[in-house]
Amino acid sequence: MAGLTPAYVLRRVGMWLLTIWLGATIIFVIPRLAPGDPVAAMVSRLSAQSGYIENSAEMIEAWRERFGLNGPWYVQYLSYLRSVLTFDLGYSLASFPSQVRDMIAQAVPWTIGLLTLATLISFVLGNLIGALMAWRRTPRLVRSLLPVTLTFTSIPFFMLGILLIYVFAFGLRWFPPSGAYDSTLTVGWNWEFIVDVIHHGTLPALSIVVTSMGFWALGMRGMMITNEGEDYMILADAKGLSPRRVFWFYGVRNSVLPQVTALALNLGGIAGGSTLVEYIFAYPGMGYLLYLGIVNTDYTLIQGIVFMLIVGTATAVLILDLLYPLIDPRITYEKG
Amino acid sequence: MTASTVDTVESTPSLRRTGLNRWDSPWLNGKFLVGLAMVTLVALMGIIGPLFWDTSLARVASSPQNLPPPWAPGYRHLVQESPPPAADASPAQQAGPEGERSSGGSITGGNPLARATPASSGGSITGGNPLATAQPGGSSVTGGNPFQSQTQAEVTPQPQTTNPYGFGVPTWKHPLGTESNGRDMLAVLIVGAPRSLRVGLIAAGIGMLVGIALGFTAGFLGGWVDNVIRTISDAVITIPSLAVLIVISAYVRTVSVENMALLLALFAWPGPTRLIRAQVLTLRERGYVQMARLSGASTFDIMFKEMMPNLLPYLAASFTGNVSGAILAATGLEALGLGPTRIPTLGMTIFYAIRAAAILRGMWWWWGLPIALLVIIFTGLFLMTIGLDEIANPRLRGAQSQ
């Protein structure tokens, strides 16, 4: 507990707020820098669909009013920040009466479930592989086999997803190609449904796990090798501790800490990459919703999702940062 | 290098691996060289390719389009054999071959056969993922019901990946096949691959320059400048860049390759900044830097003459990593349909392939070739990054030769 000083907590929470503010501001600025007026574009799209619109000028005015596009920019900005703080993300443009907040609330559990599981599995597996690759006592056969698992490291998530769909969904027909569950089943915590969700989630999760595993393995290998020569490792060996104990409590324990930092830094990338995986697999999470928003030019939906993605990753990083001093008692952040 | 050292190296084979000869430069790292060769190969394909192959074939409709002729033998037969359309199918789909053809030969060049199956009951309005919408009910927001569609497919014994007339199959005239819009795939690859590489190089290059400037500033000046730079780069690194890029491109819609690279550069600088700052902080206290400072070298000289050569492997590793990250983000945006629409790039090709259900139609060359090419690029860059890491950190090299 020594590392968790109030100053440190305060600093991390400040970072969290800064990140969210930055993200919200970017989202606020982009539409105003973009060429053309989104509201006018929307009206012209409407008129393209349904012919001439009687009083489009008033319509544009009304919409401007509704979306808070009236007034000088700082008034807009303040009202925008206020609505964002209360998670009032407005109405969806494409499917009007439904609120963006509700649409996102439906999608969030799927994304969180898929991402958390896939990231955890790949983190654990990857670090284990990396540690074994660097460990001198690893059997030669295992050590020569381990690098094979890193083959897919350089392939992006979603491309492996396409390959997996081709092989396992259409070729071998082991797994369904898309969706998150069979709609004939009732949604709930019954056994059948859970099994079906796992069945549907295997391929998307696999495409994330297999491709991101190598990243952790490489980092872990580097750390293990660096630690190998340290005095405390030699002492542990000299004391006659069992190799297993040395491996887990002296090697892995000390090498895994920088990996947690790396995890915090890469969450953003993982979240971004998984949106593509969801799109490929039509997995009903935030990524797929984002894709639908793009296709329907539903700007409020896109902005809402991206804002929530930023909040989500920032929060995850905050949690990791707050956990870090608990995992690593050596580090105190007295001065930040 | 004296003759005696060469002798000892040759006399003891164990030393030769780590020994001291002219080929012992750490830059001659196997992984680095293989990776470099792979990337160069792709780049060369883009440079030399146009000399051997007509790249104008990469334009829409310059090659045979994949519309089946209505008189094709077995076409009517196939339509009749397919299960009755789903209840919500449009009348056009029930109208038989002629209606099929008029509705099927759409702008997207979609394969009318694909529409003849119960498949297309709803895809285009919501614009859902064709992989999903090619099956009934797949287009809903909840992601639909693939399992049901599978059972349907099992009821009618019909292979799920079909290309009965061999649309766009590789021939001598079009060695890598064609896609449904009538583009020659070989030409598309020749045109697209260097573009993808260029996006990555520009974005990573700009990010690198900004990173070097900010990293050195933060590392040298320290104090509040360091704090500001570090805090902002930490915050930016947390933001899922792809998501923000999606917002930007959703508004901008028509992006050129260069603009896309500039957009990507917005998120390419924090990595190098952090790395260089950390390295500068450790290098600053080294003896040779302090020696240089004592002998009156200017800060600029210390930075670029003393520290830079030592940072080079780190910088190069970070650069290749960034290139691959930028290409990944670019292809991601393109695969969502947010790339440059007029110019064929690898990501856009994947997008078109997904949209036109190329997997279902068995046109593996359409989605497979751009992916294969991208995998070569990514693997090459990845190997280069690992190789450069080993060049920068001798301990990693040591473990490899054990």
What is the value of ipTM here, to two decimals?
Answer: 0.78
Residues 53-82 on A with a CB inside 8 Å of B are: none
Task: Please check whether residue A202 touches B, CB under 8 A.
Answer: no
If one counts every other C-beta atom within 10 angstroms of the C-beta of residue A135, the result is: 19
Mean pLDDT score, B64-75 = 59
CA gap B169, A314 in Å, rounded: 48
Is residue B148's pLDDT more than 60?
no
Q: How far is CA A257 from CA A222, A261, B354, B360, in A?
A: 13, 7, 40, 45
Least confident of A7-16, B150-159, B368-377: B150-159
> Mutate which of B151, B230, B247 to disrupt the A interface (most A C-beta within 10 Å)?
B247
Q: What is the pLDDT of residue A150?
A: 75
State how far the Cα of A132 lies from the Cα of A109, in Å rounded to an integer.
34
Q: Which of A71, A78, A102 is nearest to A89 (CA)?
A: A102
Higher pLDDT, B46 or B61: B46
Q: What is the pLDDT of residue B310?
A: 78
Q: How far is B178 from chain A (nearest CA, A)?
A: 19
Cross-chain Cβ contact A159/B350 below 8 Å: yes
**Any A CB within 8 A of B262 CB:** no
Q: Are A268 and B237 in contact (CB under 8 A)?
A: yes
pLDDT of residue B210: 92
Question: Which residue has better confidence, B363 or B104?
Answer: B363
- Kindly report the average pLDDT of chain B as a whole number: 70
Length of chain B equals 402
Angle at B26 between CA B23 and CA B28, to 5 degrees: 55
pLDDT of residue B206: 93
Give the per-residue pLDDT at B290: 83
- Convert the pLDDT of each residue in B75-134 to its tens digit: 444 444 444 444 443 443 333 343 333 333 334 444 444 443 443 333 333 344 444 444
Rg of chain B (C-alpha set): 28
Q: Pick from B42, B129, B379 the residue to mutate for testing the A interface (most A CBs within 10 Å).
A: B129
Confidence of residue B73 (pLDDT cuts 50, 70, 90): low
Phi, psi of A96 (to 5 degrees): -55, -55
Residue A2 has pLDDT above 60, yes or no: no
Q: Is the pLDDT of residue B201 over 60?
A: yes
Tokens encoding A196 = 């079906």
Can you name the residues that pair with B184 across neighbouring β-strands? B178
Give the separation between CA A301 and CA A99, rounded to whole angstroms.
9
Nearest Cα of chain B lies from the Cα of A39 at a distance, in angstroms, of 12
Report helix, strand or coil for B184. strand
CATH architecture of the domain formed by A100-296: Orthogonal Bundle (1.10)
* Candidate from A52-66, B4-18, B29-43 with smallest mean pLDDT: B4-18
Any CB–CB contact under 8 A between A268 and chain B? yes
Please write the tens of the pLDDT for every residue from A252-281. Answer: 888 888 888 788 777 877 887 788 888 888
Domain boundaries, chain A: 1-94+318-335, 100-296
Question: For A32-68, what is each residue's pLDDT tens digit?
Answer: 776 666 666 666 766 666 666 666 677 777 766 666 6
B270 min Cα distance to partner chain A (Å)? 11
A221 to chain B: closest CA residue: B396
What is the band of B205 on the pLDDT scale with cuts at 50, 70, 90?
A: very high
Backbone angles phi, psi at A53, to 5 degrees: -105, 130
Per residue in A180-221, pLDDT (tens digit) is: 777 676 677 777 788 888 888 888 888 888 888 888 888 888
Residue closest to B57 by CA, chosen among B179, B198, B171:
B179
Q: What is the Cα–Cα distance from A79 to A76, expressed in whole angstroms?
A: 5
Pick B395's closest partner by Cβ from A103, A180, A225. A225
pLDDT at B317: 83
CA distance B255 to A146: 42
Cβ-Cβ contacts under 8 Å for B212 (sequence gap 6 or more):
B272, B276, B315
Strand, coil or helix: B178: strand
**Most confident residue range from A39-43, B141-145, B161-165, B331-335:** B331-335
Nearest CB among B143, B251, B325 relative to A179 is that of B143
Which of B:130-149 have CB within 8 Å of A?
131-132, 135, 137-138, 141-148
CA atoms within 13 A on the CB side of B179: 32
Go through chain A and tell me how many residues it has.
336
Tokens of B279: 């390295």
Please indicate if any CB of chain B lies within 8 Å of the CB of A173. yes
* Torsion, CA B393, CA B395, CA B399, CA B400, rounded to 10: 30
Q: Phi and psi at residue B244, in whole multiples of 5°?
A: -65, -40
Q: Is the pLDDT of residue B343 over 60?
A: yes
| Residue of A23, B274, A280 lying closest to A291 (CA atoms) | A280
Please state the rounded mean pLDDT for residues A246-254: 84
